[in-house]
A and B are shown apart, each in its own frame.
Chain A
Amino acid sequence: MARPGVRVADSKKINSELFTLTYGALVSQLLKDYENAEDVNRQLDRMGYNIGVRIIEDFLARTSTARCTDMKDTAEKIQSAFKMYLGVNPTVTSWSPASDEFSLLFDQNPMTEFVELPESCLSLKYCNLFCGIIRGACEMVQLEVTSWFVQDSLKGDPTTELRVKFVKKLEDAMPAGED
């Protein structure tokens, strides 16, 4: 979206329904193109990754956050990013004892607002785009993470739970003066 002029304190707001519907159109088109829900999950993850590697710059430019020093920090920042881009405030819970794994609980999820999954695609991870975005964005700041859905309210679970796991720090990719 082009922003008019230069100085816009708050980034432009759009109706979340428009976004929800656009995403729905994307997923249903992918289902038509691939027929197999597994392939759609993979495509969504890939698309998310490509979004993530770009959106991270926007996040950093707008918030001027510092580099994360631990996973708690990362969790907080991912949480604030969800707030910033989707207007939702997921809860960070279920820390693993080693503090390298946490869950994001979504009470409401604007992406699935009008969605019911048909019987035929129960293996579809409707919001798999998120996993890709988190992976791509973290990779650009030299953190390798994996993420997956453990609960999905679309599949009858009480909430939507996204698990994020720290894999390693990408030391080789660390820019000079940062390592």
Chain B
Amino acid sequence: MAIYSIFILSKSGGLIYQYDHTSIKIEVEKTFTYPLDIQLVEQNKRIVVAFGQKDGINVGHNLLAMNGIQLNGTLLDDGREVTPFLADQSNFPLCLKFGRPKLSTNEKIFLASMFYPLFAIASQLSPEIKSSGIEVLEADTFKLHCFQTLTGIKFLIVAEPKQLNVEHLLRRVYELYADFALKNPFYSLEMPIRCEQFESNLQLLLEQEKIGVNNV
């Protein structure tokens, strides 16, 4: 069981805190000969596997490095374009590294603010009057748990579908927020939380959750 990440959204829907706990790192390195037996396309300034799944390299994975040189979007770190390089037979055999890219901070902010209208729509779609917004959003690889406080702050936990006790954990995170963010006189409301004590106590909480001390 694992907690993947925690998000805190302010009253107005902005992301004020994000913490990645357990992230599953998928990276596969493999040596290829000419011609490449997987289809690569350029998408959003990244080289993405479009077709041809093999040896743990899945559709949707990004090209991360080439012969040990990191990729920077569609460019190699030394400034060369990747696409013509891959088309040139003389460069083979090539060692390519594929994997899932990590979300950038901007993407996280974007996703978090997307959740805000979804939550509001969910409560309006309800056939009954007075419905809460989304409390649990379930997918086959994760479950997103959301807890909105009476003041409108949302706490989100992305966890494994089997993870137990997330509601309890959400409330504990709220307590930590009340203690270590709000009682810090240098923290201003609605702004991103940059409080070391908050972060370290959150880590402590998640550690305890992992070994099961905290199952009260």
Q: Which of A58-66, A103-111, A155-163 contacts B (4 or more CB under 8 A)?
A: A58-66
Q: Which of A3-11, A29-37, A114-122 contacts B (4 or more CB under 8 A)?
A: A3-11
B152 cross-chain contacts in A, Cβ below 8 A: 173, 175, 178
Question: Chain A residues with Cβ under 8 A from B150's Cβ?
Answer: 60, 65-67, 141, 175, 178
Of the stretches A49-57, A92-100, A126-134, the one at the interface is A49-57
- Of the candidates B120, B175, B182, the one whose C-beta lies within 8 Å of that of A176 is B120
Main secondary structure of the interface of A (DSSP, over half): loop
Q: Is the CB of A6 within 8 A of B172?
A: yes
Interface size for B (C-beta < 8 A) is: 35
Instruction: Report B126 CB to chain A, min CB distance, Å.
Output: 9
Q: Bound complex: CA of A177 vs CA of B131, how far in Å?
A: 6
A54 and B201 within 8 A (CB): no
Per-position binary interface string of chain B over residues 194-216, scored 1 when its CB falls under 8 Å from any chain A CB and 0 otherwise: 00010001001100100000101
Contact of B108 with A by CB under 8 A = no
Known interface pairs A53-B189, A61-B177. Does A6 touch B171 (Cβ–Cβ under 8 Å)?
Answer: no
Residues of chain A within 8 A (CB-CB) of B132 are: 177-178
A140 interface contact, C-beta 8 A? yes
B20 to chain A, nearest CB (A): 20
**Pick from B122, B148, B172, B182: contact of A178, CB under 8 Å:** B148
Let me know if A140 and B183 touch, CB within 8 A: no
In this assembly, does A14 line the interface, its C-beta being within 8 Å of a C-beta of chain B? Answer: no
Which residues does B use to contact A, with CB under 8 Å? 11, 116, 119-120, 122-124, 131-133, 148-153, 171-172, 174-180, 182-183, 189, 197, 201, 204-205, 208, 214, 216
User: Which 9 A/B pairs are nearest by Cβ-Cβ distance?
Assistant: A177-B133, A175-B152, A176-B120, A177-B123, A58-B178, A54-B182, A61-B178, A57-B178, A61-B175
Known A61-B174, A178-B150; 16 more pairs at CB < 8 Å: A2-B197, A3-B179, A6-B201, A6-B204, A6-B205, A57-B153, A57-B178, A60-B151, A173-B152, A175-B11, A175-B148, A175-B151, A176-B123, A177-B119, A177-B122, A178-B132
